[in-house]
Structure 1
Amino acid sequence: MPKLPEVLTSEAKKPAVVDDCLALIDAEVADKSGISGLAIKAGYAAVKGVKPGFIKQVVADLLPEFADALDPLYQQAQTENKPVATFFENNTSKVADALLAITDAKAQKSKSGVVKGTYDKLRGSAKKNVEAAVPRLGKMIEKHSN
């Protein structure tokens, strides 16, 4: 059974996976509403404005680490013969914790004050927002692992 990093980061698949991740992020941000939604949208716009292609580069750079962090859950879904999307939805907290452990460490090391400040402001609601993205994430992983 292939490991998730092999599935998502092969030369043949990585560009499409990165594009799908960007579409997932855009959709999740667009879905946010209310005052917290405005803050998320403003923060996302600020980070996107750091430099053209910044988000795409970050996604491409983080993809191997994210895939590695999610691999145990992916493997468990495979072992239990469950669809990845369903398994991830049933384990949203674990998926979010795996991803946020990586972004927390990266944000702390960031040299960009805008990135660091925006991350710090949004971190309080991050787990809830990452959990909301898990269904789309699971479907995207399923798409690229079949």
Structure 2
Amino acid sequence: MSTAVSDALLEPTRRPVAVATLTDVIDAEVSEKSGLGGAAVKAGYAAAKKLGGNFVTSATDRLLPQFASALDPFWATKGEQPFGAHLAAQPEAAADALLAVTDAKAANTSHGSAAKVYGSLRGKAKDHVVAALPRLGAAVERLVP
């Protein structure tokens, strides 16, 4: 049986690489956005990066356990197909699982600025997460032995 996503990504020596890789996925997805919606995402992301303390990387690290757990059931059912394709084949379920993590964090954060930025972008977040699933899946697959 293959290693669970959560076991692989949270393994202490692998976790920093996982955080860096997933932060790179976020950066790449944001940089490819275009149009009015893309401008809003880019502005929100720039605002998040200005929150200090390497906010995006530290948020990715803090949320990694929940994200990895959300991906575990999908990993367990991927079979032989690439993980990105497997996620993209069930976009609603995969996006909902990942957004449940960020929704819960936003609802319970003491960081008012972060919650405001998230709230301003949440309406279109599912579309953006769905678009990111192939790249996310490919990145995760590279990280899981």
Is residue 22 of structure 2 the alignment partner of residue 18 of structure 1?
no
CA offsets, 1:75-108, max 9 Å, x none? 011xx33322221121122111100001001001
* Contact in 1 for aligned 2:91/2:130 (Cα 8 Å): yes
CA offsets, 1:22-81, max 9 Å, x none? 11011111011111111111111111111131111110111111010110111011xx33
- Aligned residue in 2 for 1:85: 84
- Give, in whole Å, the separation in 2 of the partners of 1:56 and 1:29: 14
Q: Structure 2 length normalisation: TM-score?
A: 0.94
Q: Which 5+ residue runs of structure 2 have no aligned equivalent?
A: none
- Aligned residue in 2 for 1:67: 68
- Give, in whole Å, the separation in 2 of the partners of 1:141 and 1:119: 24
- Aligned residue in 2 for 1:47: 48
- Give, in whole Å, the separation in 2 of the partners of 1:70 and 1:26: 20
- Aligned residue in 1 for 2:77: 76
- Give, in whole Å, the separation in 1 of the partners of 2:88 and 2:144: 17
- Give, in whole Å, the separation in 2 of the partners of 1:65 and 1:52: 21
- Give, in whole Å, the separation in 1 of the partners of 2:30 and 2:9: 23
- Give, in whole Å, the separation in 2 of the partners of 1:108 and 1:21: 22
* Contact in 1 for aligned 2:5/2:69 (Cα 8 Å): yes
- Give, in whole Å, the separation in 2 of the partners of 1:45 and 1:25: 12
- Aligned residue in 1 for 2:10: 9
Is residue 124 of structure 2 the alignment partner of residue 125 of structure 1?
yes
- Give, in whole Å, the separation in 2 of the partners of 1:55 and 1:35: 22
- Aligned residue in 1 for 2:57: 56
Between the aligned residues of both structures, percent identity stands at 40
- Aligned residue in 2 for 1:103: 102
Q: How many residues align?
A: 144
SS in 2 for 1:41: helix
Letter in 1 for 2:74: L
Higher normalized helix content (fraction of residues): 1
- Give, in whole Å, the separation in 2 of the partners of 1:113 and 1:12: 32
The 5 Å alignment of 1:29-48 reads 29-48=30-49
- Aligned residue in 2 for 1:136: 135
Letter in 1 for 2:83: V
